[in-house]
Amino acid sequence: MSTYLESTPNEEGFFGEYGGAMLPPPLIPHFKEINEAYQRLSKSKEFLDDLKYIRKHFQGRPTPVSHLKNLSKLSGGAQIYAKREDLNHTGAHKLNHCMAEGLLAKHMGKTKLIAETGAGQHGVALATAAAYFGLECEIHMGEVDIKKEYPNVVRMKLLGATVVPVGEGAKTLKEAVDSAFGSYIGQADHALFGIGSVVGPHPFPLMVRNFQSVVGHEAREQFLEMTGELPDMVAACVGGGSNAMGLFAGFIEDQSVELFGVEPLGTSSKLGDHAATMTYGQDGDIHGFHTKVLVDENGDPAPVNTLASGLDYPGVGPEHAHLQKIGRVSYKTADDKESLDAFYALSRREGIIPALESAHAVAFAMREAKNHPDKTILLNLSGRGDKDLDFVVETYGFGE
Ligand SMILES: *Cc1c(COP(=O)(O)O)cnc(C)c1O
């Protein structure tokens, strides 16, 4: 019998009823080419050996699992552990799929990577991959985000990427996606689109999940070695959903392990105040695939809001919609305030400054720990908080 990961999605890229590929006709042959190359290369020993080498000698994998003893004590219940993706090169899990996308481009004979970025984290990770593989890199970014996230613009440029400012509409992520896709259509013969999460048309949700699954496979082995058992609960924040799918992939066959996705509740549960797509969204289409989406009264993607700009997306990876529907993963929320408290607590108690995105998973673990004194919780610390320091300290100070 094939495992969940082998059999999901199906050949058309459907996770149950979610996923698929709704593409403009000129892109159909290019996505077919990407899918064929991925299917072939993901079984090739040379490709897998190259990836293994890069992960060990460039990214610094495996990243450790840390027992957060002080935070567990503070929370007064379950023992909390963290998978340390903050220690992955460039400071977050995103490099796991960006290096693999770069390697894929190289093996396909492509000479360029193109993508959009919101806060700039994905752009920096992809520009890093491009520098490593000697590929050109073109990153589309809204003019509003360019101003707000200037240090990441500087990083991308230092890494050799061209940053294309996008002045249309609200000048943020959605317009950047449209602009990057438009540019890609004209260059698809020599460029690869480097999607930033488990989103987009097939085969990207499949590829990015499999590239990120290294996180879960490492974590399962490490946790077993540390404790002799599997964790009772596994949790990760969900924006597009890549760090969560990476961690979940390691435990999806272990029915005793409860899986939790944690979404940003922002300032309230009112539409426009949060980005909790799995909790408050409905079935719909966005950016070429079928999933759950947050929509306004006209059926257009709704405005979203959270302190953590990496979670600011009105859609979600199709696999999450599927895993919720079949009851394998539960989706919960953490709001700005709880996540900020968790950000300070992890910094002060454990000496780890988390990304505001990851702080949502920490907040969930701290809350649940109280209710489950005999359990163990493993969370994904998807990234480090260097990028958030100025914003947090200028806006909220140093915590108590
Ligand atoms: C981008 C980002 C996320 C959100 O992306 P997912 O695809 O939902 O994982 C989470 N954490 C960090 C640190 C990020 O940079």
Residues 33 and 122 reside in one and the same domain: yes
| Nearest alpha carbon, ligand 1 atom 5 | 239
Q: Are residues 44 and 67 in the same domain?
A: no
| Distance, CA of 264 to CA of 343 (rounded, Å) | 14
Q: Is-contact 265 333, C-beta < 8 A? A: yes
Output the average pLDDT for the chain.
96
Indicate the SS3 state at residue 65. strand
Q: What is the pLDDT of residue 170?
A: 83
Percent of the chain beyond pLDDT 90? 93
Q: Which DSSP helix (H) or strand (E) runs through 235?
A: strand 233-237
The pLDDT of residue 231: 99
Output the CA 25–ligand 1 centroid distance in Å.
30
Looking at 165, 184, 204, the residue that finishes a domain is: 204
* End residue of a domain, out of 150, 173, 204: 204
Atom of ligand 1 nearest to the CA of 243: 9
Whether residue 173 is predicted with pLDDT greater than 90 in this model: the reply is no
Same domain, yes or no: 363 and 314:
yes
Q: CB count, 10 Å around CB of 196?
A: 28
In ligand 1, the atom with minimum distance to the C-alpha of 85 is: 13
Whole-number pLDDT of residue 149: 85
Going by pLDDT thresholds of 50, 70 and 90, the confidence category of residue 142 is: very high
Q: Look at residue 38 in the predicted model and tell me its pLDDT.
A: 98
Residue 117, classed as helix, strand or coil, is strand
| Calpha distance 116→122 (Å, rounded) | 8
Residue 345 falls inside a structural domain? yes
Report CA-CA distances (Å) from 260 to 67, 195, 252, 368: 19, 24, 11, 11
Cα–Cα distance measured from residue 195 to residue 155, given in angstroms and rounded to the nearest whole number: 19
Contact 68, 366 (CB under 8 A): no
Q: State the total domains in the chain.
A: 2
Distance, in Å, from the CA atom of 343 to the CA atom of 224, rounded to the nearest integer, reads 27
Tokens representing 89 are 């090169």
Distance CA 143, CA 57 (A): 36
Give the whole-angstrom CA distance, residue 255 versus residue 87: 29
Q: For residue 1, is pLDDT > 90? A: no
pLDDT over 80 (residue 343): yes
| Model pLDDT, residue 172 | 85
Q: Is residue 306 part of a domain?
A: yes
Same domain, 84 and 101: no
Q: Is residue 117 part of a domain?
A: yes
Q: 82 and 174 share a domain?
A: no
Strand partners, 381: 84
What pLDDT, on the 0 to 100 scale, is given for residue 119?
87
Per-residue pLDDT tens for 58-99?
Answer: 999 999 999 999 999 999 999 999 999 999 999 999 999 999
Answer yes or no: is 4 within a domain.
no
What is residue 400's predicted lDDT score, i.e. its pLDDT?
Answer: 73
As a whole number of angstroms, the distance between CA 67 and CA 65 comes to 7
Task: Tell me the mean pLDDT in the region 261-273.
Answer: 98
Q: Which domain holds residue 132?
A: 27-56+94-204
Q: Look at the pTM and tell me if it is higher than 0.75.
A: yes
CATH code at 255? 3.40.50.1100
Q: Are 347 and 248 in the same domain?
A: yes
Q: Is the pLDDT of residue 329 over 80?
A: yes
- Reading the block at residue 96, the tokens are 């796991």
- Backbone dihedral region for residue 323 (phi beyond 0: left; psi -120 to 50: alpha; all else: beta): alpha
| Same domain flag for 78 and 180 | no
Cβ of 380 less than 6 Å from ligand 1:
no
Contact in structure between 263 and 311 (CB atoms under 8 Å): yes
| Residue 22 in domain | no
User: What are the residue numbers of the active site?
Assistant: 94, 116, 382
Would you state the pLDDT for residue 128?
A: 98
Radius of gyration of the chain (CA): 20
pLDDT of residue 326: 98
135 CB burial (10 A radius; 0-12, 13-18, 19+): buried
Residues 105 and 115 in one domain: yes
Supply 312's token pair: 């600011």
The 10s digit of each residue's pLDDT in 40-69 is 999 999 999 999 999 999 999 999 999 999
59 lines ligand 1 (CB under 6 A): no
The burial of 19, by beta-carbon neighbours within 10 Å (0-12 exposed, 13-18 middle, 19 or more buried), is given as buried
295-313 pLDDT, tens digit each: 999 999 999 999 998 998 8
Average pLDDT over residues 344-353: 98
Report DSSP state, residue 226.
Answer: H
Domain membership flag for residue 136: yes
Compute the distance between CA of residue 132 and CA of residue 127 in angstroms, rounded to an integer. Answer: 9
- In degrees, rounded to 5, the angle at the alpha carbon of residue 173 between the alpha carbons of residues 208 and 111 is 55
User: How far is residue 354's CA from residue 343's CA, in Å, rounded to a whole number?
Assistant: 6
DSSP per-residue letters across 187-202: TTTTEEE--SSS-SST
Residues 274 and 134 in one domain: no
Please tell me the distance from the alpha carbon of residue 64 to that of residue 2, in angstroms, as a whole number: 30
Residue 113 has pLDDT above 90, yes or no: yes
CA of 377 to the centre of ligand 1 (A): 20
Ligand 1 close to Cβ of residue 241 (< 6 A): yes
- The residues near 127 (Cβ < 8 Å, ≥ 6 apart) are 137, 139, 155, 156, 159, 160, 161
Report residue 2's pLDDT band, with 50, 70 and 90 as the boundaries.
confident
Per-residue pLDDT band at 186 (split at 50, 70, 90): very high
Structural domain contains residue 11: no
Instruction: Tell which of 204, 223, 243 closes a domain.
Output: 204
What lies within 8 Å, CB to CB, of 138 at 6+ separation is 112, 113, 114, 115, 161, 162, 164, 180, 183, 191
Query: Is there a domain that residue 73 lies in?
Result: yes
Q: Is residue 200 located within the same domain as residue 266?
A: no
Mark whether 256 and 311 lie in a shared domain: yes
Indicate if 288 and 360 belong to the same structural domain.
yes
